[in-house]
Structure 1
């Protein structure tokens, strides 16, 4: 954790050093001194300064406008797995997910500007380092360090362009540092020309990056290749054409899939990466600042100072289980809701459901409480980064130090399953092995024990309210199991209870104690029972599936495995499935109740919302840019 904190702080300082603006064409950017102020004479004079400048390129990823808030919370919501709560038209983080975003919205400009700022910082690094004396005449160690900095900047520049293309399609394209007097009124460049550049840059970066597993959040060779594979799938998928205003994919899309396969095969062949046997532990480690480079292939460092409410990551705060009152944990306003059909889609024994989705709140004492109000299933939250797992939850108030993981090994395995199925016109052995690795972890095949169920054996008497009754589960060797009271009877005995999480890893029957938190009531008892241990037969995907059936299985598996990690909307768009998934989800929620609140189908417009609007301030000052379709 110390090295992690050190890297976070270095990035923070680098961001302050590199505190200029982007190449975008708005008036403020033109009037501000560009990054080229830092010349080889006054800044890039030694290895340390080159490293600091490179960290300034990384810094963009930990901004609230990118991965600290907008990308996971704002831009990935309102799909078939979740939606943002509320409808206040003053809040970008509500309006945009509900498909009501307009070019004037500040969030769009903030993200657009941040990525271009990162690109310009990378352009400076790539231009200035070769001008340094030690680049050509330094020691071998100095040359190696500078070449690594160059490779990192090259990868990050390509990565930022891939995000711009993913969200906006055709965008302005520039690969040289911004200079005073530059023409900032650039036209957009065709996305496939930019993709060609991105894929080439990522490959060149990968070739120059170190192969060892990182001890911090810096990119290595295999992470660059894994990200290259993802970008290749985006390039080979569907996107909204500015000219036809239709969803289209390139005629040579299989070439992109072939490129993705090559990268995936290279990464997996190294045998450096593996799944953590416990799905829940992956996210607990993230919450507790434990670097896990074998599972988390590429991650973004986050840091905030103690009790800071304006910096850090939204994961675990605005993006987490709701804490209903100040107490053991600082308050959390979970804004991402899990839609009920997604919760219902998990099969029995899949531990990802109860860990990923909270059908409970956490009270001031830190106890989980079942949600019992009418229509409570419309308030269930994304829960992977819950306050209860965090190491410093009392000082990480408005933002946490939880790293944002961009690429997990499970994601890479599911990409392998997808590309093998596509390129072989149906699933082969590699495809099945990849998806079944992910599924077996989800069912706890490789960890001892199983989950539990809890049954009420005596109601007791004298309890004041169900919310003052705490169930304590101890022993048994497992974790995460949770049960709560839902109601009391006429004599104030416990009437009904509800399992909130079956837990995992119980090798023997734990003890269940029922404790009144207000000291009132006694006599209620409950017992736990071990659930059957899942086997590979339970977990493995049905064999002999057709190409289409296997593809649908991969689509669903990505939802279960990667839920609320900022990838679902992007997946649905590249599959040309966003509109259909919204409509299907709407049918399912209306079958639950006719007034189930799910605004997406009323607002989503095909041929418009697959891309974001180009920020209005860009359009106003750059007449070479035309707005995206429908805006």
Structure 2
């Protein structure tokens, strides 16, 4: 049975079900590639199985933003009943959260490998088939990009598993994985459709591919590989998204997250979102944990009034004080209240900081009834247009300095102050900074805009400042937090160089004779 978890045996996990909202909400039974891929409907269902990984509670539908990225300079994990896990930097290769992430990423890769090996024989429109292939290639590359960020070099597997007995695969280098991701995403860019043709936030478009490539290039340009030539590639890809002239910032920052709570797909800002839906009590069971584990703390016991929320992610003093006077994002991203069992709000004292939770996704806006205590229909934004603008500003600054980068940063800042994004304003705009100061401004702005969206840890790592930032957090918490929240310093104090990468899961190490463990583990 242990072999079912090995990356070489994930054909067993090839369960294609209609688990994305671009399909009918009808559950499908387990299928075999030997009798599948006959027509477009079957290919579409198989493709949905690849997409499904993204919205799982173990992935971007929950664990990645809520637990894997819980401990940074912008947030801490505010649960004290058991001080173990990746969020406390008290874990090893047997940790279930580490193992789940590895297993499901390779499950997505295996599904993509199976799809790409069989789609050629499908009887369907040629243009649609090309788009399907591009989507599968992109998703496979995205899963490898996630693996290389968290584990470094990993086994590169591009063919479906043929035997459950072949479990030995050596690691490719991180550079080799990045080269593969780049190649696959470039191919996907020319195959997938424009977002204006798709009109959907959950399906891969050219904008999705280009935005993801910009993120990938920035990561590649930073630590640990420091391939700085990729800053130009990042700039060029982000610029393609901007110059397509089909995306724009939502004028109301709050509305981005309300839309996600209410299943309103708004692709002008939200370039790619998870496909969560329902209350997880239906046949599809594709609810996630967004707004439940990382929402405003609420002890509701009435499933018709407001949903229960644990408040696992809370703000740091640093994040709270990064926002300037008049920046409307702070009091939406960070809670100003809690809710009791009846849904009644209790305001948090103005001087209390560490008991403020992430508040971007608020269960009071959900429309599905009855509400589920532990699952929500809320989508998670994997890539937003605001992120693209900030990536473009960062890359442009590294390539040629801040002169041509200021406007991209200032668009995001203006919207944060409730101002028109395209109109210069002295209140919001930053001008006249040198390259180094502008670099720091970008880093702070990414925290203000993208906090709790699962990108901060990798940002800090690629900038080479994760360890020092965590050390500073420990000092700040000890100096500023009340006795109740002194525990938050424990995670920050425990971070060492080995935590820049996860350990290879113990089950993989025990089965794969060619696997080599990461340093320090």
In the alignment, does 2:297 pair up with 1:407?
Answer: no
Q: Please report how far the alpha carbon of residue 307 of structure 1 lies from its aligned counterpart in structure 2 after TM superposition.
A: 4.7
TM-score, with structure 2 as normaliser: 0.90
Residue 610 (str. 1) matches residue 472 (str. 2) = no
Task: Give the corresponding residue for 2:509.
Answer: 619
Distance 1:104 1:308, change over 3 A: farther
Which residue in the other structure is 2:23 paired with? Answer: 10
C-alpha separation in 2, matches of 1:85 and 1:6 = 31
- 2:363 aligned with 1:379: no
CA deviation digits over 1:536-574, x for unaligned, max 9? 211111x22111110000000000000001111010011
Task: Count the aligned residue pairs.
Answer: 495
DSSP-derived class of the 2:97 partner: helix
2:335 to 332, 347, 358: 358
Q: Do the aligned residues in 2 keep the contact of 1:168 with 1:613 (CA within 8 Å)?
A: yes
1:351–1:579 Cα change, 3 Å: same
**Residue 339 of structure 1 corresponds to which residue in structure 2?**
316
Counterpart residue number, 1:536: 425
Residue 14 of structure 1: CA displacement?
7.4
Structure number, greater radius of gyration = 1
Deviations, residues 43-67 of structure 1 (Å, cap 9, x unaligned): 1211211111111111111222211
1:321 is matched with which residue?
296
**1:397 Cα deviation after fit:** 2.9
The structure that is strand-richer by fraction is 1
CA distance in structure 1 between the partners assigned to 2:339 and 2:496 by the alignment: 37
* Pairing partner for 1:550 from 435, 438, 457: 438
Q: Deviations over 1:227-271 (max 9, x none)?
A: 1111111111103xxxxxxxxx33xx2321111111111111110
* Alpha-carbon separation, structure 1, partners of 2:410 and 2:338: 33
- Answer yes or no: is the 8 Å Cα contact 2:272–2:384 preserved in 1: yes
The alpha carbon displacement at 1:384 in A equals 0.4
Indicate if the aligned counterparts of 1:80 and 1:585 stay in contact, CA closer than 8 A.
yes
Deviations 1:126-169 (A, max 9, x none): 1111234x3xxx6xxx1111111111111100000001111110
Q: Which residue of 1 aligns with 2:519?
A: 629
- Does the 8 Å CA contact 1:308/1:399 hold for their aligned counterparts? no
The superposition leaves residues 436-479 of structure 1 with CA deviations (integer Å, 9 ceiling, x where unpaired) of 000000001129xxxxxxxxxxxxxxxxxxxxxxxxxxxxxxxx
- 1:171–1:189: 8 Å Cα contact kept in structure 2? yes
**Is the alpha carbon distance of 1:593 and 1:382 closer, same or farther for their aligned partners in structure 2, counting shifts above 3 Å?**
closer
C-alpha separation in 2, matches of 1:294 and 1:69? 24
1:179 positional shift: 0.7
Across the aligned residues of Structure 1 and Structure 2, the Cα RMSD in angstroms comes to 2.4
Larger relative contact order (C-alpha < 8 A, sep ≥ 6)?
2
C-alpha separation in 1, matches of 2:62 and 2:142:
18
* Counterpart-to-counterpart distance in 2, 1:15 and 1:350: 47
The answer on 1:80 being equivalent to 2:80 is no
2:199 is aligned with 1:215: yes
Contact map agreement 2:43 2:119 (CA 8 A) in 1: yes
**Structure with higher helix content:** 2
Secondary structure of the structure 1 residue equivalent to 2:21: helix
Structure 1 counterpart of 2:479, from 591, 596, 612: 591
Structure 2: 5+ residue runs without aligned partners? 1-17
For each residue in 1:591-610, what CA deviation from the matched residue of structure 2 results, as whole angstroms up to 9, or x when unmatched?
Answer: 3247433222321112x001
CA distance in 1, matches of 2:420, 2:30: 47
Q: Would you say the 8 A contact 2:258–2:365 is kept in 1? A: yes
Tell me if structure 2 keeps the 8 A contact 1:572–1:578: yes
TM-score (norm 1): 0.75
How many Å separate the matches in 2 of 1:368 and 1:580?
Answer: 37
SS of equivalent residue, structure 1 residue 369: strand
The counterpart of 1:202, out of the listed 177, 185, 192, is 185
